[in-house]
Structure 1
Amino acid sequence: MERKNKNSFTVSAFQFEEEFLATSKDLEKLRNDGSLMFQQVPMVEIDGMKLVQCRAILNYIAAKYNLYGKDLEKLRNDGSLMFQQVPMVEIDGMKLVQCRAILNYIAAKYNLYGKDIKERALIDMYVEGVADLNEMYLFWSISPPNEQAAKMTQMKDKIANRYLPAFEKVLKSHGQDYLVGNRLSRADIHLVELLYLVEELDPNLLANFPLLKALKARISNLPTVKKFLQPGSPRKPPMDEKCLAKVKEIFQLK
Structure 2
Amino acid sequence: MSQRPVLYYFNGRGKMESIRWLLTVAEVDYDEIFLTSREQFVKLLDDGAFMFQQVPMVEIDGMRLIQSKAILNYIAEKYNLHGNDIKERVQINMYTEGLMDLMEMIMVLPFSADPKSKLDNIETKAKERYLPVFEKALTDSVHLVGGRLTCADVYLTECTLMLEEKFTAILKDFPAVKAFQGRMLLIPAISRFLLPGSKRKPQPDEVYVKTAKEVLNLNFTFP
Q: Are residues 96 and 104 of structure 1, via their aligned partners in 2, closer, same or farther at CA, if it must alter by over 3 Å?
A: farther
Q: Are residues 149 and 96 of structure 1, via their aligned partners in 2, closer, same or farther at CA, if it must alter by over 3 Å?
A: closer
Q: Which runs of 5+ in 2 are unaligned?
A: 1-34
1:205 equivalenced with 2:174 (yes/no) = no
Q: Which runs of 5+ in 1 are unaligned?
A: 1-40, 44-51, 61-71
Aligned to 1:104: 73
1:137 equivalenced with 2:123 (yes/no) = no
Deviation at residue 53 of structure 1 after TM alignment: 5.6
Aligned to 1:221: 186
CA–CA separation in structure 1 for the residues paired with 2:109 and 2:197: 27
CA–CA separation in structure 2 for the residues paired with 1:252 and 1:100: 25
Q: How does 1:18-57 map to 2 (within 5 A)?
A: 42-43=36-37, 52=38, 55-56=41-42
Aligned to 1:113: 82
Of the candidates 133, 148, 154, which is equivalent to residue 121 of structure 2?
Answer: 154
Amino acid corresponding to residue 107 of structure 1 in structure 2: A
Q: Identity over aligned residues, as a percent?
A: 37
Deviation at residue 112 of structure 1 after TM alignment: 0.7
Amino acid corresponding to residue 180 of structure 1 in structure 2: V
| Matched-pair contact (CA < 8 Å) for 2:58–2:71 | no
CA–CA separation in structure 2 for the residues paired with 1:239 and 1:150: 18
| Matched-pair contact (CA < 8 Å) for 1:114–1:123 | yes
Deviation at residue 141 of structure 1 after TM alignment: 2.6
TM-score by length of 1: 0.60
Aligned to 1:192: 157
Of the candidates 169, 192, 195, which is equivalent to residue 230 of structure 1?
Answer: 195
Deviation at residue 124 of structure 1 after TM alignment: 0.8
SS at match of 2:60: strand
Aligned to 1:25: none
Of the candidates 92, 115, 126, which is equivalent to residue 95 of structure 2?
Answer: 126
| Matched-pair contact (CA < 8 Å) for 1:96–1:102 | no
| Matched-pair contact (CA < 8 Å) for 2:59–2:65 | yes
Per-residue CA deviation, residues 117-163 of structure 1 (Å, 9 max, x unaligned), is 01100111111111101121123332223xx3431111111111111
CA–CA separation in structure 2 for the residues paired with 1:155 and 1:54: 35
CA–CA separation in structure 2 for the residues paired with 1:153 and 1:53: 38
CA–CA separation in structure 2 for the residues paired with 1:252 and 1:82: 22
CA–CA separation in structure 2 for the residues paired with 1:209 and 1:131: 19
Deviation at residue 237 of structure 1 after TM alignment: 2.1
The number of aligned residues is: 176
CA–CA separation in structure 2 for the residues paired with 1:160 and 1:192: 16
Amino acid corresponding to residue 72 of structure 2 in structure 1: L
Q: Are residues 151 and 83 of structure 1, via their aligned partners in 2, closer, same or farther at CA, if it must alter by over 3 Å?
A: closer
Q: Are residues 162 and 176 of structure 1, via their aligned partners in 2, closer, same or farther at CA, if it must alter by over 3 Å?
A: same
SS at match of 2:169: helix
CA–CA separation in structure 1 for the residues paired with 2:40 and 2:123: 32
1 or 2 for the larger relative contact order (CA 8 Å, sep ≥6)?
A: 2
SS at match of 2:156: helix
Q: Are residues 84 and 222 of structure 1, via their aligned partners in 2, closer, same or farther at CA, if it must alter by over 3 Å?
A: same
